[in-house]
Each structure stands twice: as C-alpha cells, then as structure tokens.
Amino acid sequence: MNLQEKNERLGQLLRGMDKAIVAFSAGIDSTFVLARAAQELGDNVLAVTAASETFPERELEEAISLARELGVRHEIIQIAEMENPMFVRNEPDRCYHCKTGLYTSLNNFAEEKDIPWILDGANMDDLGDYRPGRKAAKENGVRSVLQEAELYKEELRQLAKEMGLSNWDKPSFACLSSRIPYGNFITIDKIRQLDRGEDKLRRMGFRTLRIRHHDDIARIEVAPSDFERVIHMAPEITAILKEEGFAYVTLDLQGYRTGSMNEKLSNMQEEANEHA
C-alpha cells in the first residue's frame, strides 16, 4: 500500500468503531491516532492520559494543551506504578508490568463509560525492538490501529505534518524509568533526578536527548549533530548534572537511539546462542 492507501485504511478501521478511547501520551504517535479518530468519530472519541510519578509534568501539560487544540474530550486518570514491586524491580519485563497496570485501569475506565475500544499509538517501527508492553496490549484487547494500517513512524509524521499537527516533528519520548539499567531498582529519587536533568538540558536547546542513569554516572545521548555543542557546553552541562547528584558525566559516542538499554539484552542473547 502507498501512503494514501494506508491512511484510507486507517480511516476505515476507525469508522468501524462506534466509540473509542485513545491512550494519549502527547507523543506524535498517539496524537496522530487521536486526530484521525476525531476526524472519523467526532465526539465519540475520548482522549485519556495516565498521570503517574514517572510521567513528567511537562508532558501532562502538553497532553492537556494538545487535546484542547484538537477540540477533543480529555480525561486524566492516575496510576501508581511505584506501588507495583514487579515494576520497581526493573527486570527486563518491566514494561509488561507497567502496561498491564495501565491497560487494566483503562479497561475499567472504558467499562464505566461504556466505550468498547481502546487504541494505542504503536506503529510498525515498534515491531522491530524488544517491547514487552506489546504483550500486555494484546492481553487487554488494546487495538494498535497504526500497525493494522501498516504505518511507520516517518509516514505518520508526514501525514501529521500535512494535517497541521503542531507536534508532528516532536522527538520520541519514553517513560523516565527506561533510563535506568535493568536490574537497578527504580526509585522516585532517580526518576526526579533524571526529570530535572533532562528538563534543564532541554532548556539549553537539546531537543533529541536522553540521560541514562548508571548510579553515579550520567550517560548523555544526543544526536551526533549536537556532539560539538555538548563539548562546547561541557562545563555548564557537567555542573548542572553534578548539582543533580551525579559524580561523573559522559557523552555516548553512538549518539541518541531509542532502546539503548536493550542493547545489553541483545548482547547477552548473542553470547548465549554462541555457547548453545
């Protein structure tokens, strides 16, 4: 299918639903799903954002603003990830436990509102990475309409730009817990440390950014095109992150990439295969 055919397919899928909830995080994926659902379903679509201790306040505020911009009804529910010991332990299946809690809450909310469908923003690119949260989505009957329409990230960005969505080029965002290596317990202090650090670096102009938390080491991932600027601003960046409690500050020479914490899992699997 070409891009237009994929977009038409998405419209057909959405029109086949009487009413739907969109799990809305303010990222471009869920924003695009919400905007298209609003086009096809009108007032029968409801955006629902899950607020939690690992979801930055700035992202919540952006979700509220975007829903208002799209003229879509918007509800906020509270989830308590830090009360789930399987999440806090931060094993490789952490995302499964997180998403199970989220989708259980969304299903309960949907049942109260008599809304039969819950949609997420997973796209075709998400099939190529380690995503235990996808299992939770399937178990809870969540529809991934972008995957059903075979839309990739860059394709939906193009369509979002054509629609005039203000965040069409927003960098990908993952929950702050994904900055902490598997096996290291997640704590509120670590989450807040990362949130403050990333917020301060974004205010310095770094849009594509991750700070990975390695105990007393902060590993910065930015786009390779920003390497020179990081080096130039190294004294200021180092001072900021040391003020947040890190003893050492490093720049990852591979640059920004999603799922970099999964690379160790891939290496471990390769070693296991070699010795099998």
Residues 6 or more apart from 95 whose CB is under 8 A from it? 131, 132, 133, 136, 178
Beta bridge partners of 249: 218
3-state secondary structure at position 140: coil
Shared domain check, 143 and 18: yes
58-66 long-range contacts, Cβ below 8 Å, gap at least 24? 58/199, 59/25, 59/26, 59/173, 60/26, 62/26, 62/167, 63/24, 63/25, 63/26, 66/24, 66/26, 66/31, 66/34, 66/166, 66/167
Residues 43 and 146 in one domain: yes
Q: For residues 45 and 146, state if they share a domain.
A: yes
Tally of CB atoms within 10 A around 149: 23
The residue-averaged pLDDT of 145-166 equals: 97
Taking the C-alpha atoms of residue 106 and residue 174, their distance in angstroms, rounded to an integer, is: 19
pLDDT of residue 133: 84
Residue 6 CB neighbours (<10 A): 20
Task: Report the alpha-carbon distance of residue 146 to residue 22 in Å, rounded.
Answer: 12
pLDDT above 70: residue 266: no
Q: For 81-85, 214-218, 270-274, which range has the lowest pLDDT when averaged over its residues?
A: 270-274
Query: End of a domain among 112, 134, 163?
Result: 163
Alpha carbon 238 to chain centroid, angstroms: 27
Which secondary structure element, helix H or strand E, spans residue 95, and what is its range? helix 94-113
Q: Do 196 and 90 fall into the same domain? A: no
Which residue among 117, 142, 163 closes a domain? Answer: 163
Domain presence at residue 89 = yes
Shared-domain flag, residues 70 and 149: yes
209 domain residue, yes or no: yes
Please count the CA atoms within 13 angstroms of the CA of 156 that sit on its side-chain side. 28
pLDDT of residue 262: 75
Split into its structural domains, the chain has a count of 2
Indicate whether 273 pLDDT > 90. Answer: no
Residue of 268 and 94 predicted with greater confidence: 94
Q: DSSP per residue over 149-199, as a string?
A: TT--HHHHHHHHHHHT-TTTTPPP---GGGGS-TTSPP-HHHHHHHHHHHH
The answer to whether residue 268 sits within a structural domain is no
Q: 209-236: b or e for each residue (b if 16 or more CB lie within 10 Å)?
A: bbbbbeeeebbbbbbeebeeebeebeee
pLDDT at 138 over 90: yes
The CATH number of whichever domain residue 131 belongs to comes to 3.40.50.620
Question: Residue 241: inside a domain, yes or no?
Answer: yes
Are 140 and 48 part of one and the same domain?
A: yes
Q: What confidence tier does 213 reach under pLDDT thresholds 50, 70, 90?
A: very high
Residue 44 lies in a domain: yes
- In degrees and rounded to multiples of 5, residue 245 shows phi and psi of 110, 0
pTM over 0.85: yes
Quick check: is 248 in a domain? yes
Sheet holding 217-222, edge to edge: 209-214, 217-222, 248-251
pLDDT digits (tens, 9 = 90+) for 103-130: 999 999 999 999 999 999 999 998 876 7
- Domain boundary (116, 141, 163) is at 163
What is the token pair recorded at 186?
């997640």
Whole-number average pLDDT of the chain: 92
Quickly tell me which residue has 């990830």 as its tokens: 81
Question: pLDDT over 70 for what percent of the chain?
Answer: 94
Query: pLDDT tens across 18-72, in order?
Result: 999 999 999 999 999 999 999 999 999 999 999 998 888 899 999 999 999 999 9
Which domain, by its residues, includes 131? 3-163
The Cα 51–Cα 45 span in angstroms is: 19
Res. 268: pLDDT tops 60: no
82 SS3 class: helix
Could you tell me if 143 and 195 lie in one domain? no
